[in-house]
Amino acid sequence: MQPATAVVSNIVGNLSPFDDLERRHIATTLDWLGSTDDIFRRAKPATPSPHLVAYVVLVDPDKRGVYLGLHRMAGLHLPMGGHVEPQEHPLTAARREAGEELGIEPVFDVVGEHPLFLTRTTTVGLTAGHIDVSLWFVIRGDRDRSYALDPGEFEGARWWDLDPDRLPATDPHLPRFIRKLDGLLPSQALCRD
């Protein structure tokens, strides 16, 4: 196993699964990482499949909001993020994506600098589906602020309540992510105004 793959394997192995589905995704991902070093996207849109993605979920834990952009290719309201570059550390990718897509230096003080969640998802959109193995990082946002998104990737964005049952068309795993996040937020952040 190459060093970059070993780093990712260590990150994945240290995740605490939220439910049986995340437990299966982690186990399948660890098997995949143990079988290949070809884990980074080499050619657009999908070579190899699966490949590694870093989601950067902008959350206001105090005002209970999540910022989602309407992604042009997927046609879904999604967190920011993108592909992890060859040999890039996933946290470095998360920092890079926050800068590229939100124009900010991310603050990882909601749950820390480690990913909170892992998913394996067959993508949808303008090209044939492929599998993204996504590490979900949480960064602090301010619900009273707008963020200028990359117009090449997003048609716009808005804040949504941290309510897993009242989300727009989005990543199928976002409601589960929100439920996992809820279990880690301080109790005062869970009170609605």
With b for 16 or more beta-carbon neighbours within 10 A and e for fewer, the 14-40 pattern comes to ebeebeeebeebbeebbebbeeeeebb
How many other CB atoms are there within 10 angstroms of residue 170's CB atom? 19
- The phi, psi pair for 5, rounded to 5°, reads -70, -40
Reading the block at residue 83, the tokens are 């592909």
Report CA dihedral (48, 138, 96, 43) to the nearest 10 degrees.
Answer: 10
Q: Where are the domains of the chain?
A: 3-190
Question: What are the pLDDT digits (tens) for 26-73?
Answer: 999 999 999 999 999 988 877 888 999 999 999 999 999 999 999 988
Per-residue confidence (pLDDT) for residue 93, from 0 to 100: 97
pLDDT at 5 over 80: yes
Of 193, 134, 190, nearest in space to 162 by CA:
190
pTM (two decimals): 0.93
Contact 47, 139 (CB under 8 A): no
Share of the chain above pLDDT 70, in %: 94
Other C-beta atoms closer than 10 Å to the C-beta of 115 total 22
Q: Which tokens sit at 106?
A: 């991310």
Beta carbons within 8 Å of 57's beta carbon, 6+ residues apart: 66, 79, 80, 136, 137, 138, 139, 177
Give 3-190's CATH code, choosing from 3.40.50.970, 1.10.287.3240, 3.90.1150.10, 3.90.79.10.
Answer: 3.90.79.10
What's the pLDDT score for residue 36?
A: 95
Residue corresponding to tokens 């804040």: 159
